[in-house]
Structure 1
């Protein structure tokens, strides 16, 4: 049987990703592969949690999320000078992602295999301790953006436009501040829903009858992708307009994220039924 060959662009991007940070690239791709496996498990394992959601839904989401997080970091390694990619800040970034991400995922996968919730599960001393530890390792995971931002900001790769460097650094900082802050608040509650519960947004599962703290957390975590994409889209404009777009875009992104958070706190859904 003939196999489908990868296009030159696909081969080039994969090779570039592996060259920039091989360990994180392999880690991220492995997690996406495991997500495909848990997606299959959703079809063959009928067990549901008390919330009525299949036990393998949360592992799938987190495998994809942390996989993309690792791949993003691997790509960003290319924005630092080649001789600095093995520096202490960069090695710290790699370690924090591997340790923080793996702890979270192992516990989530284990709980799913037992048919139990991982988040907001404080039904026993063991589960209370593990939930607290999971929160700690989540902070370490999100904190990996700080040494990465430091290295890219201080010693960016040559020929990389200053405005694009700023967009990457701002995106990483917003991911830490917004993603970390809102995630910490959510984990301190008894659940992610606020007020009435019912209905859900396809794929994401966000509450459509009341508030859902996961929406703002999602936006905060993905600031590291949003700001560089914006910078790339306005790359053909004048320097003055590029800077204006990046500063304005970052401000608007933060404002929208906080507004969505306030809406959830008020018990109002983002996409009502």
Structure 2
């Protein structure tokens, strides 16, 4: 009976691409990205502690919620990129510098968000004319495009290479493009229209845009924070919220990589998952399904509809997507059951 060498599979998922050098040592992790991730993790801890002692709010949220969310997202993504860049690939020098650009730009952008939180005001879209805010908006103007284009070039370089086993390769490449899409969708927030909102001290400040879509809302009226919100994420439950597709796109790479590891683990118990071909097919289905989910929540948000309040059209589209994914998984399962069980050579 065929068996799956799980230790070998997982070792490739975690450490393959780290070819031994002349000294017999694996190449080091990407230092700037690890520094980025460490600083972001520290910011999460500081922000959570600050929430406990600082009762200031912006639009009904703690002033420290945004730094905590950005710190968490950057820490997770930074570690993912640092691991990916250890995999064997051509153009390693170029990808090292691209990773460094991402790390530096990310630190600069999130540092400004933290500074604005400490000041009790908004980081994004803030039109205040004080010197600190004006300087910070210039940081955003250069930092955000740097983050996007560094990831774009990384994705172009990585997409044409084998890197590792097929399931993990699909997860990585699809995840990179999903993350890029999530970043790109962030730019849609810039077209939601201006609004007047209050800072934590009660003074009014103008924002050139926002996160939510409220069809028919009066010009300049505060859209963000006008209504109830979900716990933790604070996504709106009364309007379309563009942070939903932004978040889902950015973290698709982690979801798919976790699925790749889970399938490899389950392959030790279920014989139909033991072949690399089957697991790769399931990752392909998952990537397509995830793209469908991203499209669905974007469509929902653009129509001014909250994630928690789907209408019949959204519910119908969700059902179609679920049927497609279930059918594709069933087809992969039936094909694998009919085929002889073999283990792909590494």
1:76 lines up with 2:95 in the alignment: no
Query: In structure 1, how many angstroms separate the alpha carbons of the residues matched to 2:43 and 2:154?
Result: 26
Specify the alignment match of 1:118 in structure 2. Answer: 123
Aligned to 1:183: 186
- Partner of residue 103 from structure 1, selected from 108, 111, 115: 108
Q: Among residues 206, 212, 218, which one is paired with 2:235 in the alignment?
A: 206
8 Å CA contact 1:135, 1:187 repeated in 2: no
Following the alignment from structure 2 to structure 1, what is the Cα–Cα distance between the partners of residues 178 and 123? 26
Residue 131 of structure 1: aligned partner:
137
Aligned to 2:63: 55
With normalisation by structure 1, the TM-score equals 0.81
**Deviation for aligned residue 1:132:** 6.0
Check 1:194–1:154 CA distance in 2 against 1; reply closer, same or farther (3 A cut): closer
Selected match of 2:250 from 217, 221, 224:
221
- In structure 2, the CA distance between the partners of 1:53 and 1:94, relative to structure 1 (3 Å rule), is same
Q: Write out per-residue CA displacement over residues 122-172 of structure 1, whole angstroms, 9 at most, x where no aligned residue.
A: 233864674364154223224333343345444555xx3133213211211
**1:43 Cα deviation from its structure 2 partner:** 1.6
Matches within 5 A, 1:154-165: 154-157=160-163, 160-165=164-169
* Greater displacement, 106-115 / 232-241: 232-241
Structure 2 gap ranges (5+)? 1-13, 19-25, 193-208, 215-222, 268-272, 311-346
Aligned with 1:88: secondary structure?
A: helix
Residues 156, 165 of structure 1: 8 Å contact kept: yes
Which residue matches 1:143? 149
Distance in 1, matches of 2:212 and 2:162, equals 41
Asked whether the 8 Å contact 1:153–1:166 carries over to 2, the reply is no
- Give the TM-score, by structure 2 length: 0.65
| Residue number among 306, 313, 326 corresponding to 1:269 in the alignment | 306
- Of residues 41, 48, 56, the one that matches 1:32 is 41
Q: Give the match's secondary structure for 1:20.
A: coil
- Structure 1, gaps ≥5 residues long: 1-12
Greater helix fraction, Structure 1 or Structure 2: 1
Residue in structure 1 matching 2:98, options 93, 96, 101: 93
Match of 1:7 in 2: none
Deviations 1:63-120 (A, max 9, x none): 1111111111112123235xx68x3322223222222201211211221122111112
Find the aligned partners of 2:168 and 2:117 in 1 and give their Cα distance: 41
Distance 2:281 2:165 in 1: 15
* Count of aligned pairs between the two proteins: 252
2 CA distance for matches of 1:205 and 1:18?
41
Which is bigger in relative contact order (C-alpha 8 A, separation at least 6)? 2
